[in-house]
C-alpha cells in the first residue's frame, strides 16, 4: 500500500476521469495496464454500436449528450476506487503526458480513422431512395478505391490518379465530388457504367452497351416526399440487383442519347430515377480521381426512420 502522500487527490482524479475518461483517469493515478484495458473496452464498444447501428430516434443527439455525461460520471466512479492502489510515479502519470496520450487516443485516432478508413456521411435528399433515405447516416470506406485527392483531408496527392487504386464495380454506391463544384459538394449515386461503356435511357429502361438491363415491377412505394411511386428491381449484367423508383411515366430523364463513358470516368445514377441529378444531366461523368469512397453501411437515421432492413449497402 502506498503512503498517503503518494496518492492522487480524489478531486484531481475525478476531474481527469470526467474529462479524460477511464483511460486518462487510470494514466493519472499510475496504472498503464488498466488504462490500456479501458481503452480496448471503449474501442470495442464504439465498434459494436457503429456496426449494429444506433436506435432510429429523431432526438438521439440529446440522448448522445446525456449518454456521454453519464459515461463520464461512470468513468469517475470506476477510477476513484483504484486511486490509493497505485503510485503516480510513471512517466505517463504527469499532467502533460496524460493530456497528450488522451488526445492521441481520441482525437488523433478519430482523425486517422475518418481520413484513411471510414468516414460518416448523411443523406439530405430522396435521390437515392429506397436504398438511402433522408436522414440516413452511413459509413463510407475510404480505402475501397484507394486514395485520391478528394478522399484525403489534406492535398497530399496530385490532382489525378489514386494511391492503391481499385476501380468501382457496377452497382456500387459511391460518394464523389462533382468536378464543377470545386470539390465543395458531396454526391451519392450508384455506378452503372464503366469506362468504355455506352449508357442510354430508353422509356425509363437503362441500357448498357445496347442491351436493356433487366427491370421488374415489384409494387408501389410510398414515403413522405414520394407518396405514389412505383418500386422496381433492376439487375445489372454482372448480377448486382437493387431497387429503383419510378415517379412518373415519360419524365424528362426517361429518354437520353447514347452516352459513351470516357476512360478514367464512370456513369452514375440515382435510384430515384425521376428525382436525381446525375450523369444523365448536369453532374456528368464521374472522374476516377473525384471518388471519395464506397458507401458500405448505415448506422443511424436522424428522422426516426427504421433502417435495419437496408443497413448493408455493399
- Would you state the cell numbers that stand for residue 219, as one nine-digit string? 409494387
Angstrom distance (rounded) from CA 197 to CA 182: 26
Burial of 239 (0-12, 13-18, 19+ CB in 10 A): exposed
How far is residue 111 CA from its own chain's centroid?
14
Dihedral sign, Cα of residue 56, residue 58, residue 59, residue 61: positive
Closest CA to 19 of 76, 67, 63, 97: 76
**DSSP strands (E only) in the chain:** 118-122, 136-141, 173-177, 186-193, 198-202, 205-208, 211-212, 214-221, 229-235, 241-246, 259-260, 265-269, 286-287, 291-301
Instruction: Select which of 17, 75, 105, 127 is catalytic.
Output: 127
- CA 216 vs CA 130, 140, 185: distances in Å: 15, 29, 33
Angstrom distance (rounded) from CA 152 to CA 49: 25
Instruction: Select which of 141, 189, 276, 294 is catalytic.
Output: 189
User: Is 189 one of the catalytic residues?
Assistant: yes
Dihedral sign, Cα of residue 287, residue 292, residue 293, residue 297: negative
User: Is 127 one of the catalytic residues?
Assistant: yes
Angstrom distance (rounded) from CA 128 to CA 189: 7
Q: Is 179 left (phi over 0), alpha (psi -120 to 50) or beta?
A: alpha
Active centre residues (catalytic): 127, 189
Amino acid at each position: 500500500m502506498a503512503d498517503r502522500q503518494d496518492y492522487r487527490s480524489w478531486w484531481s482524479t475525478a476531474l481527469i476521469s470526467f474529462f479524460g475518461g477511464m483511460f486518462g483517469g487510470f494514466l493519472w493515478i499510475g496504472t498503464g495496464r488498466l488504462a490500456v484495458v479501458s481503452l480496448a473496452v471503449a474501442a470495442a464498444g464504439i465498434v459494436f454500436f457503429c456496426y449494429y447501428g444506433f436506435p432510429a430516434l429523431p432526438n438521439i443527439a440529446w440522448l448522445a449528450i446525456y449518454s456521454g455525461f453519464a459515461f463520464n460520471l461512470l468513468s469517475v466512479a470506476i477510477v476513484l476506487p483504484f486511486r490509493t492502489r497505485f503510485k503516480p510515479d510513471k512517466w505517463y502519470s504527469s499532467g502533460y503526458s496524460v493530456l497528450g496520450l488522451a488526445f492521441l487516443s481520441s482525437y488523433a485516432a478519430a482523425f486517422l480513422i475518418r481520413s484513411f478508413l471510414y468516414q460518416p456521411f448523411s443523406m439530405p435528399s430522396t435521390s437515392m431512395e429506397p436504398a438511402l433515405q433522408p436522414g440516413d447516416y452511413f459509413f463510407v470506406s475510404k480505402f475501397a478505391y484507394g486514395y485520391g485527392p478528394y478522399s484525403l483531408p489534406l492535398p497530399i496527392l496530385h490532382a489525378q490518379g489514386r494511391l492503391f487504386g481499385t476501380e468501382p464495380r457496377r452497382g456500387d454506391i459511391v460518394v464523389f465530388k462533382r468536378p464543377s463544384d470545386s470539390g465543395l459538394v458531396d454526391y451519392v449515386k450508384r455506378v452503372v457504367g464503366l469506362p468504355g461503356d455506352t449508357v442510354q435511357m430508353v422509356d425509363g429502361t437503362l441500357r448498357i452497351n445496347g442491351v436493356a438491363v433487366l427491370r421488374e415491377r415489384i409494387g408501389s412505394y410510398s414515403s413522405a416526399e414520394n407518396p405514389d411511386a412505383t418500386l422496381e428491381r433492376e439487375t445489372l449484367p454482372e448480377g448486382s440487383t437493387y431497387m429503383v423508383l419510378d415517379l412518373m411515366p415519360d419524365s424528362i430523364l426517361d429518354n437520353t442519347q447514347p452516352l459513351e463513358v470516357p476512360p478514367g470516368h464512370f456513369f452514375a445514377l440515382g435510384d430515384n430515377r425521376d428525382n436525381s441529378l446525375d450523369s444523365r444531366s448536369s453532374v456528368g461523368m464521374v472522374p476516377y480521381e473525384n471518388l471519395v469512397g464506397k458507401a458500405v453501411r448505415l448506422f443511424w437515421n436522424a428522422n426516426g426512420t427504421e433502417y435495419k432492413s437496408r443497413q448493408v449497402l455493399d
